[in-house]
Structure 1
Amino acid sequence: MTMISSLAQKYHQSIIDLRRHFHTYPELSTKEFKTQERIMKELAAIGLVCRPIAKTGVIAEIKGSKPGKTVAIRADMDALELFDECGKTYQSQNPGICHACGHDGHTAMLIGTAKILTAISGQLAGNFRFLFQPSEEILPGGAQIMIEEGALAGVDAIIGAHLWEPLKVGTIGVSYDRLMAASDRFSVTVKGRGGHGSMPHQTVDSLLVGAQLAVALNTIVSRNIDPLKPAVVSLGTFKAGETFNIIPDTAFLTGTVRSFEPSIRSTVFERIEQIIKGVCETYGAAYQFEKALGLPAVVNNPECSKAIAAAGEKVLGRSNVLTINPVMGGEDFSYYQEKIPGAFFFIGVGNPEKGIIYPQHHPKYDIDEDALLYGMEILVAAAVKLAQE
């Protein structure tokens, strides 16, 4: 462990510099070409043979000197459509594109992890595969393409991490079961009959119907779901009409559903359809309902999580390894977990003393870069432990 820590300290500043480079030049999902190029350059510099995968991703592997299992470590690479307002020297130079979710740090941290494991490969049992995955931010995500192109072939276990502002730097959050929710979406088009605002009796008011739906759909979780089982139904858009004195012909609503259990997922969508049908029939409107089942839930393998927790205790101390409740955000790391044992965990980056207080997807999002040091150490130690077991 001392050698891992020393190497992490040695590479820390170069990994900070890399993270700032990726933050300065972010790229959107499916367009991470320059990011891919820089990753391959960094890996080649330490003697690794790497290749493109999933169009803009990268895959590489090192072999230890002794027999053992093959462990994959995954990082995502893509940025968000958002204007960067971090106000630092490394603020995004690509207008309207921003690493406001920490993927710049994930990518840099995995490069550092590869450097450490390469340096000690002569002492290791097992093999270590590095998966730099594109397109996490869009559905269906890049993980499925990575899998289709052989990213998990021969892999026994996989681990991954997310830099997480709600947790203080110097801590990690671990779950031994559910961590992140299934992420689904839906849309409703209400088709009424438009007309003059002064003659509502001649219309079927799609705006009014949409408003009734907005209220009714928000009762599903509170009245149809066991309060001890987490679920979310949230509307994100409601669009109807163009001017003040015309009752609109059409209203359009979109929303998301988050859950962990297939039965909850099914119940929520059944109630959504029942409510839409009932409200529209009551007001004489027609409707079109579409649903898109998205990412499955991130459910951790307990043994993989134990390896992460054990590594975290050695690096940070037992009191700083937190067992956390699930969150309702989604992550396509779940697709890997459907194929092989795996665990995903959160690395704290929050630090009010440094002004690191803004959440994921906020234009002022930033990280305490000490987290990159801890993340490298924990990823290496956990991977080494899993490869030996």
Structure 2
Amino acid sequence: MINQTIKNAIKENSHEMIEIRRKLHSEPELSWEEYETSQFVYDYLIKLGIKARKMEPTGVIAELEGGKKGKTVALRADMDALSVEELNTDLTYKSKELGKMHACGHDVHTAMLLAAAKALDSVKEEIPGNVRFIFQPAEEVATGAKAMVKQGAVDGVDNVFGIHIWSQGATSTVACSPGPAFASADIFNVRFKGQGGHGAMPQACIDTAVIASSFVMNIQSIVSRTVDPMQSAVVTIGKMVVGTRFNIIAENAEIEGTVRCFDPAIRDHIEKQLQVYANHTAAIYGGTAEVDYIRGTQAVINETESAHLVQQVASEAFGEDSVYKEEPTMGGEDFSFYLDEVPGSFALVGSGNAKKDTQWAHHHGKFNVDEDSMVTGAELYAQYAWSFLTK
């Protein structure tokens, strides 16, 4: 199943891959602003002789046509950075952009997929089918994948595969289990309206500080008392803005939070409960409530056969000990929108190494990766495509 030419090509080009990663890391671009990154990706692919096209406004799709007829497999990497200040000030390739950095590893994903494309190009005459490379913008705001799908990213595709580098896993280990991997990730906004006034005269007011505080406490029972204990769900309040001054009773309050779960029915239930709790809590105190519920990513559910193929490929390419089981995470990942269209799977490649200080959580200012993991990720991309098309 494992193609030795691909394995050798990845190793031979590992220095170039790391150089590309470091270049991208030093030049981060936020969601929907990946103009230089996408241009670099496009130019690199064209130089290899792989057909590529730019998407609107910043995505890139390329197609490697094999020497024989067959199916089409898609490989996806995301490209956007985050609004995070880099704290790794001693890095030679630290971010040049104040307040921006690749704090989630998308620079790594892009470099690994380019290396995989180059390796697969070296065996294209032997490939029975086509490999599509999807370089996606705006994963961090959960809108990039949906936009790429609308522009035909998976039209005619039989299977799709993605990778996320994972600082919580040991370097070069691989996790990909059938079933739930990442949760759906939604955003809600609640606005309470009361009646402001002097802090010394509460009897003439409707205090939204009290309403908002009560709401935050009340919704703790949504998961603990209205969701089956055998199901997983999280409701988190991340932002609360109330009032303007110490001696003024607040007329307005605004709350923002997120909902994470794996079951669509639980998702619907929590959305409804948030509306009920907001309206009833406000009514108790004489105020009103408005709730906006914004659905973000779907849950990432790995298709069984695809996940088993990832495990088999990883085991043969890197050894049985490289494969481990990672429990589903409540993190969100818009790769889910590809899986809504075609079967596939999403793997985690470990990059955590305390000796190299790469164990920091994703989205932290000190996040970094053990670059030894990149050879594993690039080969996993390429060998998965080869194995899917030739099995």
Q: How would you bin the TM-score normalised by the shorter chain?
A: over 0.9
Q: Which residue of 1 aligns with 2:224?
A: 222
Q: Which runs of 5+ in 1 are unaligned?
A: none
Q: Which residue of 2 aligns with 1:238?
A: 240
1:166 to 150, 165, 168: 168
Whole-angstrom distance in 1 between the partners of 2:201 and 2:222? 34
Whole-angstrom distance in 1 between the partners of 2:215 and 2:380? 47
Whole-angstrom distance in 2 between the partners of 1:269 and 1:43? 44
Q: Which residue of 1 aligns with 2:291?
A: 289
Q: Which residue of 2 aligns with 1:135?
A: 138
Report the alpha carbon displacement of residue 384 of structure 1 after superposing the two structures with TM: 0.8
Is the contact made by 1:163 and 1:346 (CA closer than 8 Å) also made in structure 2?
A: yes
Q: Which residue of 2 aligns with 1:119?
A: 122
Q: 40-49 or 279-288: which moved more?
A: 40-49
Q: Which residue of 2 aligns with 1:68?
A: 70
Render the CA deviation track for 1:136-171: whole Å, top value 9, x for unaligned. 1114x1112212222112111010000111111121
1:101 is paired with a residue whose SS is coil
Report the alpha carbon displacement of residue 257 of structure 1 after superposing the two structures with TM: 0.7
1:109 is paired with a residue whose SS is helix
1:97 to 96, 100, 116: 100
Render the CA deviation track for 1:319-368: whole Å, top value 9, x for unaligned. 22112221111111111111111111111011001111211110111000
Aligned ranges 1:1-389 → 2 under 5 Å:
1-87=3-89, 88-139=91-142, 141-389=143-391
Is the contact made by 2:139 and 2:333 (CA closer than 8 Å) also made in structure 1?
A: yes
- Identity within the alignment, %: 37
Render the CA deviation track for 1:14-50: whole Å, top value 9, x for unaligned. 1101001000001111111100111112112211121
Whole-angstrom distance in 1 between the partners of 2:129 and 2:305? 17
Amino acid in the other structure paired with 1:114: A
- RMSD over aligned CA atoms reads 1.1
Report the alpha carbon displacement of residue 10 of structure 1 after superposing the two structures with TM: 0.5
Whole-angstrom distance in 2 between the partners of 1:143 and 1:159? 13
Render the CA deviation track for 1:174-212: whole Å, top value 9, x for unaligned. 121111111111111111111111222221110011011
Whole-angstrom distance in 2 between the partners of 1:360 and 1:72? 25
1:22 is paired with a residue whose SS is helix
Amino acid in the other structure paired with 2:273: R
Q: Return the TM-score normalized by structure 2.
A: 0.97
Whole-angstrom distance in 1 between the partners of 2:47 and 2:285? 67
Is the contact made by 2:167 and 2:360 (CA closer than 8 Å) also made in structure 1?
A: yes
Q: Which runs of 5+ in 2 are unaligned?
A: none
Is the contact made by 1:304 and 1:341 (CA closer than 8 Å) also made in structure 2?
A: yes
Report the alpha carbon displacement of residue 2 of structure 1 after superposing the two structures with TM: 2.6
Report the alpha carbon displacement of residue 376 of structure 1 after superposing the two structures with TM: 1.0
Amino acid in the other structure paired with 1:179: A
Is the contact made by 1:67 and 1:125 (CA closer than 8 Å) also made in structure 2?
A: yes
Amino acid in the other structure paired with 1:387: L
Whole-angstrom distance in 1 between the partners of 2:288 and 2:58? 43
Whole-angstrom distance in 1 between the partners of 2:387 and 2:113? 17
Whole-angstrom distance in 1 between the partners of 2:36 and 2:294? 32
2:149 is paired with a residue whose SS is helix
Is the contact made by 2:177 and 2:308 (CA closer than 8 Å) also made in structure 1?
A: no
Whole-angstrom distance in 2 between the partners of 1:303 and 1:93? 43
Render the CA deviation track for 1:97-123: whole Å, top value 9, x for unaligned. 111011000000000000000011122
Whole-angstrom distance in 1 between the partners of 2:311 and 2:381? 11
Count of aligned residue pairs for this structure pair: 388
Whole-angstrom distance in 2 between the partners of 1:303 and 1:383? 14
Whole-angstrom distance in 2 between the partners of 1:163 and 1:132? 15
Whole-angstrom distance in 2 between the partners of 1:201 and 1:173? 59
